[in-house]
């Protein structure tokens, strides 16, 4: 409630320390097996998709959580702007994630695949407890990005008259994007508690998360086509070609996750349906009220 700027002063250094820590933990195992860096080449996944399409389809749905969180980058553009997000991603986040994932791969290969939780198991000795503490802090901090994104998107929906007016508190004298919305914050808290109690297991919650993120990416691709064709005035063939490329990837991810509907994915679809229904009801009701008001207006000619 004190603004994302004040929160960033506290959370920023902790987040930077978290990424540096996971990067170093992975680098330690990469040094022991540097050949793992060859996994960066995309031809391995292409060969896997061609040679084992059935297994690959299921595997993609499982590993997709590795890229979740990227959608929050776009949601937070209204708060932080493009430059700091791009700089943080290219300079810290992406390199450290790559080092950590590669390090986990090297660790699993060294253990002949007999590993339960590679992320924590590869941090042996005195580093384990600090890593658990950092992971817990990073989890709390990551939720702040989602909350900030929810505030930003809700405000935009209100400004577009897609949702009823809600209280918006500006927490910064310099940045218009730094806001706090009490009702949205309370709603998020209630929904999160219901989801945690209802699911009980993180694996079931992961199924819901995968569907929501892939659905978000697919909708973003559709909206990108609208922007390219109507706002940027691109040639139709160019807009369609680029959209097909992105849609091909997004549909593949979405299809691999949609099979998890009965494992918990139904929650994401239910929440999305509820939000769409609320927005559709508000838009339709506002339009009906406007038309009725216009019909009951007294003509200015009559007053003259």
pLDDT digits (tens, 9 = 90+) for 183-213: 999 999 998 888 888 887 777 777 778 888 8
pLDDT score recorded for residue 205:
76
pLDDT reported for residue 303:
57
What's the domain count of the chain? Answer: 2
Domain that holds residue 269: 201-296
pLDDT of residue 62: 75
What ranges make up the beta strands (E) of the chain?
169-170, 179-180
pLDDT band at 234 (very low <50, low <70, confident <90, very high): very high
Q: What is the pLDDT of residue 225?
A: 94
Higher pLDDT, 299 or 282: 282
Q: What is the pLDDT of residue 86?
A: 86
Q: How far is CA 290 from CA 17, 145, 242, 299, in A?
A: 53, 36, 39, 16
Separation of alpha carbons 97 and 266, rounded Å: 30
Q: Are residues 129 and 211 in the same domain?
A: no
3-state secondary structure of 179: strand
> Rounded to an integer, what distance in angstroms lies between the CA atom of residue 157 and that of residue 78?
13
Residues 184 and 36 both lie in one domain: yes
pLDDT tens string 277-290 = 999 999 999 999 88
16 and 1 in a common domain = yes
21 with 157, same domain: the answer is yes
CA-to-CA dists, residue 208 to 29, 59, 163, angstroms: 32, 16, 24
Q: What is the pLDDT of residues 39-78, one digit of tens each?
A: 889 888 888 888 988 888 878 877 777 777 666 666 666 6
Whether pLDDT at 37 is above 80: yes
3-state secondary structure at position 166? coil
Per-residue confidence (pLDDT) for residue 117, from 0 to 100: 84
Q: How many CB atoms lie within 10 A of CB 22?
A: 23
191 shares its domain with 267: no
Indicate whether 238 pLDDT > 70. Answer: yes
DSSP at 173: S
Written as six digits, the tokens of 266 are 């139904």
**Is residue 195 domain-shared with residue 225, that is, in the same domain?**
no
On whether both 129 and 222 belong to a single domain, the answer is no
Specify whether the backbone of 125 is left (phi greater than 0), alpha (psi in -120 to 50) or beta. Answer: left
Please state the rounded mean pLDDT for residues 1-28.
78
User: Could you give the CA distance from residue 98 to residue 59 in angstroms, rounded to a whole number?
Assistant: 19
Q: Alpha-carbon distance 169 to 184, whole Å?
A: 12
Q: Binning pLDDT at 50, 70 and 90, where does residue 112 land?
A: confident
The pLDDT tens digits for 247-260 are 998 898 888 888 88
In a domain, residue 243? The reply is yes
**Global pTM value:** 0.73
From residue 246, how far is each of 27, 43, 85 by CA, in Å? 32, 19, 22
Query: pLDDT digits over 74-96, tens only?
Result: 666 666 677 888 888 889 989 99
Q: What is the pLDDT of residue 216?
A: 85
Please say which residue of 182, 200, 218 terminates a domain.
200
By percentage, how much of the chain surpasses pLDDT 70?
89
Q: Write down the pLDDT at residue 1.
A: 55
CB atoms within 10 A of CB 89: 14
The domain boundary residue, chosen from 165, 200, 235: 200
DSSP string of 116-133?
S-HHHHTS-GGGHHHHHH
38 pLDDT higher than 60: yes
Over range 270-283, report the average pLDDT: 92
pLDDT reported for residue 20: 93
Report pLDDT for 195: 84
Cα–Cα distance, 75 to 143 (Å, whole number): 13
Same domain, 12 and 135: yes
Based on the domain organization, do 167 and 27 belong to the same domain? yes
Return mean pLDDT, the chain. Answer: 84
* Whether residue 196 is found in the same domain as residue 135: yes
> What span, in angstroms and rounded, lies between the C-alpha atoms of 213 and 142?
15
Q: Which sign, positive or negative, has the C-alpha torsion 257, 60, 251, 223?
A: positive
Is 304 contained in some domain? Answer: no
């Amino acid at each position: 409630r004190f603004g994302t700027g004040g929160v960033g002063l506290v959370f920023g250094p902790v987040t930077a320390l978290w990424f540096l820590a996971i990067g170093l933990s992975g680098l330690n195992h990469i040094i022991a097996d540097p050949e793992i860096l060859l996994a960066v080449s995309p031809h391995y996944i292409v060969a896997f998709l061609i040679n084992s399409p059935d297994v690959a389809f299921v595997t993609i749905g499982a590993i997709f959580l590795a890229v979740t969180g990227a959608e929050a980058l776009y949601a937070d553009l209204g708060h932080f702007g493009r430059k700091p997000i791009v700089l943080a991603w290219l300079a810290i986040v992406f390199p450290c994630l790559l080092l950590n994932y590669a390090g986990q791969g090297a660790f699993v290969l060294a253990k002949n695949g007999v590993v339960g939780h590679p992320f924590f198991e590869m941090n042996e000795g005195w580093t384990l407890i600090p890593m658990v503490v950092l992971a817990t802090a990073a989890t709390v901090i990551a939720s702040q990005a989602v909350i900030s994104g929810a505030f930003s998107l809700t405000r935009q929906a209100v400004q577009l008259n897609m949702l009823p007016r809600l209280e918006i508190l500006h927490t910064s004298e310099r940045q218009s994007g730094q806001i706090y919305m009490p009702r949205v914050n309370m709603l998020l808290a209630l929904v999160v508690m219901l989801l945690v109690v209802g699911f009980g297991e993180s694996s079931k919650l992961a199924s819901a998360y995968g569907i929501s993120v892939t659905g978000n990416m697919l909708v973003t691709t559709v909206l990108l086509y609208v922007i390219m064709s109507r706002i940027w005035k691109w040639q139709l063939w160019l807009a369609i070609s680029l959209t097909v490329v992105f849609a091909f990837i997004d549909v593949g991810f979405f299809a691999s996750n949609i099979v998890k509907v009965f494992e918990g994915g139904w929650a994401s679809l239910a929440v999305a349906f509820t939000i769409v229904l609320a927005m559709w009801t508000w838009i339709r009701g506002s339009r009906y009220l406007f038309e009725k008001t216009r019909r009951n207006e007294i003509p200015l000619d009559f007053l003259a």
